[in-house]
């Protein structure tokens, strides 16, 4: 090989000794740094790796929520099933306003009760995330909220965060927890967000919510999320509010935020 | 007064100028969401006929957003240069298109008329222009700006290096910055979107970037894209602010949604000018815009999203920016649904901004819930490159791990420069050569491992 005689650099990150200078730097970032070049452009494995990640993210957006698997996870316990006014994914993506309102049939199917809180498992932009995290978080919350009147779980499809407002208002619940699939990125396609709103109503502003984000196997664990959420819910009940006022009262910054960007 | 046109035996009527502009717009999901889109293709073309017959003067006589209610309208009206407009004053929108495309409308002429054109005129003419028209006219316009290098010269394509990190880890950001520099990226700006939008964090990030720039004597500018009020505070505390960044939109209410007013922008502009940090020029502002921003803040006043976007460029040009870019595919499929809509919007935004004399770049990008992919971005970048785009944004491997969307990769920009024989800003190109990163005989960037370059210690690499 000529490289043995003439020390020409190879294309990309590896020098002639075969040592990859980029490897030690990758501990500091998940960014796709130091990708080798073929001419000006990327090598085949990196091109395909990107496409695979993009495919996974798109599948998370477009695969319908598997309600049967949620039913299985609920182990025979009853839950309620609603849909937004967006009849399909394509409409859902174009019309966020429809994803925030219940379909006529869905509203009629929701029972009224004297509930402190209703939990909503919503598909959002990643059904994968909801399928994976919603039922475990619901179970973890019930362990932490003894004495609370908790409504049956509501499973919502083609749903945006604000759909929870109408669900809670229809059922007469004092607050709503929406567990929803976040917009997937290339590195994480199964991240779930949780939005807490006290005394929600149709049209209530996003600034009156608190959120926990980044709940997935490599991010915030269900257990840690449940602890933070339980604290938020108790404080919300005590202060009779959620949103910026509650964020400011939080003991630690952590993952507790007010809402900047909704799915 | 209603606007009318008869097509195929049917008479189409458009109640207001806003309705006419909206109906003449190419299909896009944001206008559908706002209920402003033409109902049929025939209605759309009828609107374009009616628009083509409209005197350009109409836009000086009819405000789309009331003068009394909106400071962007006041800015547009109060700063309009009627002398520059004089040669256009007799034209209809259709004649304006023909004239823009004519050989008579050369680079010098187009520069001279820019202060006479309002955003609404630019938006209106764009609606009766095909993609190639938008490219051909923009290609003739030169908007040159300067800070530590010269941006916007003929035959150049500059780039923003965007080394974002989900927790603003300084070593992670340095590693991405090194990667970009080795690909010849970063002459427009090395600009970080911070994960934490605070003064303390902004100061730390700026110090790191400024240290690296000075250590390697890189003829470029750095920026932390934090809120303008944070940047004012950072300047008060003596931070290393080259450029003031702010997201802006085309109405007062939408800007208020971003927490910004024209007086705040003026204050920041004057503060940055007083620092005199530029070496070859003093263009000190950097703005981002994007179709859909006003509608998402419910601040569009019933104006279609492309027209209201063009109004943001009037805000930008009031502060002599170094850089402006549209974040065209970022805001989401509820505004631009697919690759076709994103590509068209990118070309419109570039054309309208350049026509108004604004140094327009683009974040050629998409989110994972849009119907778009890398092939669409390849198409968009080549079209924008051919149209003379001021700069493009690059991130490692096209994957922004902080904002969770896909832009162009450093490699993509290398490919584009090679395809269209475009060079970096001259001062930056000379630096690349001095650093041994550019092969002037082969006319290409060398593929070097960090350890083979003098930049290795930037990220603590061997």
Q: Are residues B302 and B154 in the same domain?
A: yes
Q: How confident is the model at residue A243 (pLDDT cuts 50, 70, 90)?
A: confident
Q: Among B112, B174, B394, which Cα is nearest to A41's?
A: B394
Chain B residues with beta carbon closer than 8 angstroms to that of A219: none
Q: Are residues B185 and B323 in the same domain?
A: yes
For the cut 60, the answer to whether the pLDDT of residue A251 exceeds it is no
Minimal CA separation from A242 to chain B, in Å: 21
Looking up residue B249, the CATH number of its domain turns out to be: 3.20.20.70
Tally the domains of chain B. 2
**Looking at the domain assignment, is residue B101 inside a domain?**
no
Mean pLDDT by 10 residues, chain B (462 residues): 92 97 97 96 98 98 97 98 97 98 98 98 98 98 98 98 94 97 98 89 95 97 95 97 97 93 98 98 98 93 98 98 97 96 98 98 97 98 98 97 94 97 97 96 93 90 54
**pLDDT score for A254:** 44
Nearest CA in chain B to A23: B461
Q: Are residues B177 and B312 in the same domain?
A: yes
Residues A24-52 have pLDDT tens digits of 999 999 999 999 999 999 999 999 999 99
Q: Are residues B186 and B49 in the same domain?
A: no
**Looking at the domain assignment, is residue B96 inside a domain?**
no
CA distance B12 to B8: 10
Q: Are residues B201 and B325 in the same domain?
A: yes
Residues A130-144 have pLDDT tens digits of 999 999 999 999 999
Q: Is B165 on the interface with A (CB under 8 A)?
A: yes
**Looking at the domain assignment, is residue B436 inside a domain?**
yes
Looking up residue B49, the CATH number of its domain turns out to be: 2.30.170.30
Of B54, B77, B95, the last residue of a domain is: B54
Residue ranges of the annotated binding site of A for adenosylcob(III)alamin are 161, 182, 211
**pLDDT score for A248:** 59
**Looking at the domain assignment, is residue B84 inside a domain?**
no
Q: Are residues B182 and B282 in the same domain?
A: yes
Chain B residues with beta carbon closer than 8 angstroms to that of A185: 368, 399, 401, 404-405
Residue A171 Cα distances to A150, A165, B94, B203, B459, angstroms: 11, 10, 57, 48, 56
**Looking at the domain assignment, is residue B102 inside a domain?**
no
Q: Are residues B149 and B278 in the same domain?
A: yes
Question: Cβ B447–A37 below 8 Å, yes or no?
Answer: yes
**What's the complex ipTM?**
0.95
What is the sign of the dihedral through the CA atoms of B363, B367, B372 and B374?
A: positive
For the cut 80, the answer to whether the pLDDT of residue A245 exceeds it is no
* Cβ–Cβ under 8 Å, residues B215 and B185: no
Question: Cβ A25–B460 below 8 Å, yes or no?
Answer: yes
The answer to whether B296 is annotated as binding is yes
**What residues contact B136, with CB distance under 8 A and at least 6 apart?**
B101, B387
Question: Cβ B368–A184 below 8 Å, yes or no?
Answer: yes
Query: Of all residues in chain B, what percent carry a pLDDT higher than 70?
Result: 99
B213 lies in which domain range?
A: 145-452
Q: Is B155 on the interface with A (CB under 8 A)?
A: no
C-alpha angle B287-B290-B293 in degrees, rounded to nearest 5: 105
Of B38, B54, B70, the last residue of a domain is: B54
Question: Cβ B367–A96 below 8 Å, yes or no?
Answer: no
Q: Are residues B302 and B196 in the same domain?
A: yes
Question: Cβ B33–A42 below 8 Å, yes or no?
Answer: no
Chain A residues with beta carbon closer than 8 angstroms to that of B341: none
* Cβ–Cβ under 8 Å, residues B223 and B285: no
Question: Cβ B449–A12 below 8 Å, yes or no?
Answer: yes
**pLDDT score for A34:** 96
Residue B169: strand, helix, or coil? coil
Cβ burial B102-128 (10 Å sphere, 16+ → b, else e): eeebeeeebbebbbbbbbbbbbbbbbb
- CATH number belonging to domain A62-258: 3.40.50.11240
Eight-class DSSP state of A65: P
**Looking at the domain assignment, is residue B88 inside a domain?**
no
Question: Cβ A40–B418 below 8 Å, yes or no?
Answer: yes
Question: Cβ A183–B368 below 8 Å, yes or no?
Answer: yes
**pLDDT score for B206:** 97
The answer to whether B161 is annotated as binding is yes
Q: Among A175, A162, A166, which Cα is nearest to A110's?
A: A166
Between positions 338 and 377 of B, the ones with CB within 8 A of A are 367-369, 373-374
How confident is the prediction for chain A on average, in pLDDT?
88
**Looking at the domain assignment, is residue B123 inside a domain?**
no
Question: Would you say how long chain A is, in residues?
Answer: 263
Q: Are residues B41 and B166 in the same domain?
A: no
**Looking at the domain assignment, is residue B90 inside a domain?**
no
């Amino acid at each position: 090989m000529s490289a043995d005689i003439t020390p020409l650099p190879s294309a990309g990150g590896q020098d002639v000794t075969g040592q990859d200078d980029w490897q030690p730097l990758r501990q500091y970032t998940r960014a796709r740094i130091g990708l080798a070049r073929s001419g000006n452009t990327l090598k085949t494995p990196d091109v395909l790796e990107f496409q695979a990640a993009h495919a996974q993210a798109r599948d998370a957006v477009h695969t319908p929520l598997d309600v049967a698997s949620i039913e299985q996870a609920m182990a025979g316990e009853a839950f309620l099933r609603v849909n937004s006014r967006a009849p399909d994914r394509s409409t859902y993506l174009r019309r966020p306003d429809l994803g925030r309102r219940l379909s006529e049939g869905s509203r009629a199917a929701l029972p009224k009760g004297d509930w402190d809180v209703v939990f909503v498992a919503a598909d959002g932009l990643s059904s994968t995330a909801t399928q994976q995290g919603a039922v475990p978080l619901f179970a973890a919350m019930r362990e932490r909220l003894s004495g609370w009147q908790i409504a049956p779980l509501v499973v919502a499809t083609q749903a945006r965060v604000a759909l929870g407002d109408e669900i809670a208002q229809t059922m007469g619940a004092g607050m709503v927890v929406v567990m929803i699939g976040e917009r997937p990125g290339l590195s994480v396609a199964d991240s779930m967000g949780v939005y807490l709103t006290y005394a929600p109503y149709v049209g209530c502003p996003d600034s009156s919510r608190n959120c926990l984000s980044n709940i997935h196997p490599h991010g915030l664990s269900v257990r840690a999320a449940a602890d933070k959420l339980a604290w938020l819910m108790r404080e919300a009940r005590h202060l009779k509010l959620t949103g910026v006022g509650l964020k400011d009262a939080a003991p630690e910054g952590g993952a507790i935020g007010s809402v900047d960007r909704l799915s | 007064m209603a606007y009318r046109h008869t097509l195929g035996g049917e008479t189409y009527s458009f109640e207001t100028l806003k309705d006419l502009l909206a109906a003449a717009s190419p299909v896009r999901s944001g206008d559908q969401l706002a209920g402003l889109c033409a109902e049929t293709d025939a209605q759309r073309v009828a609107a374009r006929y009616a628009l083509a017959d409209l005197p350009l003067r109409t836009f000086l006589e009819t405000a789309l957003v009331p003068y009394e209610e909106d400071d962007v309208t006041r800015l547009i009206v109060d700063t309009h240069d009627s002398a520059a407009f004089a040669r256009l004053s007799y034209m209809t929108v259709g004649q304006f298109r023909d004239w823009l495309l004519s050989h008579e409308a050369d680079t010098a002429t187009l520069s001279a008329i820019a202060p006479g054109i309002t955003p609404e005129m630019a938006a209106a003419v764009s609606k009766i222009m095909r993609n190639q028209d938008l490219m051909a006219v923009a290609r003739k316009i030169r908007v040159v700006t300067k800070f530590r290098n010269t941006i916007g010269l003929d035959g150049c394509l500059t780039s923003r290096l965007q080394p974002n990190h989900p927790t603003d880890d300084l070593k992670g950001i340095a590693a991405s910055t090194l990667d970009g520099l080795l690909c010849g990226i970063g002459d427009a700006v090395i600009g970080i979107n911070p994960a934490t939008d605070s003064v303390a964090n902004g100061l730390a990030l700026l110090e790191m970037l400024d240290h690296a720039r000075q250590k390697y004597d890189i003829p470029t500018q750095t920026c932390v894209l934090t809120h303008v009020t944070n940047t004012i505070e950072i300047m008060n505390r003596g931070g290393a602010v080259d450029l003031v960044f702010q997201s802006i939109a085309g109405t007062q209410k939408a800007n208020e949604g971003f927490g910004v007013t024209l007086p705040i922008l003026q204050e920041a502009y004057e503060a940055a000018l007083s620092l005199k940090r530029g070496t070859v020029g003093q263009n000190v502002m950097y703005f981002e815009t994007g179709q859909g921003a006003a509608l998402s803040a419910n601040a569009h006043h019933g104006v279609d999203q492309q027209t209201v976007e063009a109004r943001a460029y009037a805000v930008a040009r009031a502060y002599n920016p170094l850089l402006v870019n549209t974040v065209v595919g970022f805001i989401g499929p509820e505004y631009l649904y697919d690759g076709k809509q994103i590509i068209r919007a990118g070309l419109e935004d570039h054309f309208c901004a350049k026509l108004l004399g604004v140094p327009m770049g683009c974040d050629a990008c998409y989110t994972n819930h849009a119907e778009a992919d890398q092939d669409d971005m390849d198409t968009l970048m080549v079209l924008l490159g051919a149209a003379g785009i001021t700069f493009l944004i690059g991130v490692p491997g096209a994957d922004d791990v902080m904002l969770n969307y896909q832009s162009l990769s450093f490699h993509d920009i290398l490919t584009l420069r090679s395809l269209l024989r475009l060079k970096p800003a001259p001062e930056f190109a000379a630096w690349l050569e001095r650093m041994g990163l550019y092969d002037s005989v082969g006319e290409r960037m060398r593929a070097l491992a960090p350890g083979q370059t003098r930049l290795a210690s930037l990220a603590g690499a061997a």
